Structure 1
Amino acid sequence: MTQGQALTIEHLAAGYGKVQVLWDVSVRVEPGEFVAMIGANGAGKTTTLRAVSGVVKPTAGSIRLGGVDITRAEPSQVVKRGLGHVPEGRELFPLMTVLENLELGAAMRPEALAAQRQTLAQVYSLFPRLQERAGQLAGTLSGGEQQMVAVGRALMGRPSVLVVDEPSLGLSPLMTQTVFEALKAVNAEGVSVLLVEQNVGLSLKLAHRAYVLENGQVIKEGSGQDLLNDPAVREAYLAL
């Protein structure tokens, strides 16, 4: 493994209790890369991201973030090391305002707290609607607006690597496009992105590289364009 890699997952195994979900997952994200993980429901994509963020503890393998071993680290330590996680289902605090939810994203990192005002302005530039809704309770927002808050909250921690789980879930095509354009812009600013997403076509169009997971293992890897043109991928995930 080279020190230059933003995120490296090697031979990862993990699960929940006696139920093993991941058997042998190896994924790398280079600095500035946009990497997608695709696969059917139950393939292990969400579990992989949860293991990266420390929510699920691996039973084998290793995870390194910016060259530092975080395999057994607690979620708070992983955040301090520079990981931002946009979880499936958003997991906002519904009785807190949009601004309060966003500010929580900076709470774990001193450097993020020091730059909180600047980062908030950047989040608002990505999602102007959040500035309009800053004093509104997060639980009263539309699904798309809540997804904007979830992405914005992760960005408030000024991460070097952003892992994003199913951002288009339940969103309209227009709102999906808005969220994906924001992720593309964040990546263009130098933040490495690891995306899990059921919208395979859109994901592969944006991704520099991509992985296909099946039954807790990586079965295919290539550039986003190569996998988009792969007959097996098109038949299995694009119904083409």
Structure 2
Amino acid sequence: MKPGAGQELLIEQLAAGYGKVQVLWDVSLRAAPGEFVAVIGANGAGKTTTLRAVSGVVRPSAGRILLGGRDITRASPTRIVASGLGHVPEGRELFPLMTVRENLELGAAMRPEARAQATQTLAHVYSLFPRLEERAGQLAGTLSGGEQQMVAVGRALMARPSVLVVDEPSLGLSPRMTQTVFEALKAVNAEGVTVVLVEQNVALSLRLADRAYVLENGQVVREGSGAALLADPVVREAYLAL
């Protein structure tokens, strides 16, 4: 795939919610080009809403979001994908009656440069997840949960993103499948793609992260390197039961 250098993702004083229900207040975070950033917090803290705002699914009520220095705060999801952002949503959101390959190929549909290089990118996705090549003609709805998560990650990679935001990739997966998915995310990051990860496995996330943020009640309450937060006694007590 050999994507270009990752872009910076910058979120400044973001507020967002659903209708009259506000979920985020004044959220600011930064993922520098090529960084691996983890966002942790309890259920309902606003992690998923943050990623949905970044990808244009939720419209912010205040603040701004910059992707590679360009303001995407109120851009459409299609334009945001075309600008270089890939989103692996919580729950995968695959098309169950389409094959694995068809689901993957949809990921390249919204970027002309991705369509032009779809064959090479698909080969790269298969190198990350060999099982998907074995299952290429199988309906996505008949796959195991782990295999479906591989498809969701692979579909986002088919757009050749420079920034990849990933929401709860290990949810419902076995430890072995979790390891496979995380190894793929590490490999993608090593190629230069900026990765922003929301994940329930706090220890694993912080071990991988260059930078990490803790969200509580829609606000950032702690930030630092992954190693620093992993050693933080407050984080360890609240999220690692240590």
TM-score exceeds 0.5: yes
Matches within 5 A, 1:1-240: 6-240=8-242
- Secondary structure, counterpart of 2:26 in structure 1: strand
Letter in 2 for 1:57: R
- 1:94, CA displacement in angstroms? 0.2
Unaligned runs of 5+ residues in structure 1 are: none
- 1:206, CA displacement in angstroms? 0.3
- 1:24, CA displacement in angstroms? 1.0
Unaligned runs of 5+ residues in structure 2 are: 1-5
Q: Which residue of 1 aligns with 2:3?
A: none
CA contact (8 A) 1:34 1:209 kept: yes
CA contact (8 A) 1:123 1:155 kept: yes
- 1:5, CA displacement in angstroms? 5.8
Distance 2:40 2:68 in 1: 23
Change (3 A) 1:140 1:5: closer
Distance 1:38 1:132 in 2: 34
Runs of 4+ in 1 over 4 A off after TM superposition: none
Letter in 2 for 1:128: P
Question: 1:90-121, CA deviations, whole angstroms, 9 ceiling, x for partnerless residues?
Answer: 00000000000000000000000001000000
CA contact (8 A) 1:159 1:191 kept: yes
Distance 2:8 2:142 in 1: 36
Distance 2:56 2:85 in 1: 10
Distance 2:203 2:165 in 1: 19
Distance 1:89 1:5 in 2: 26
How many aligned positions are there? 237
CA contact (8 A) 1:15 1:56 kept: yes
Query: Considering only aligned residues, what root-mean-square deviation do their CA atoms show, in Å?
Result: 0.8
* TM-score normalised by structure 1 residue count: 0.98
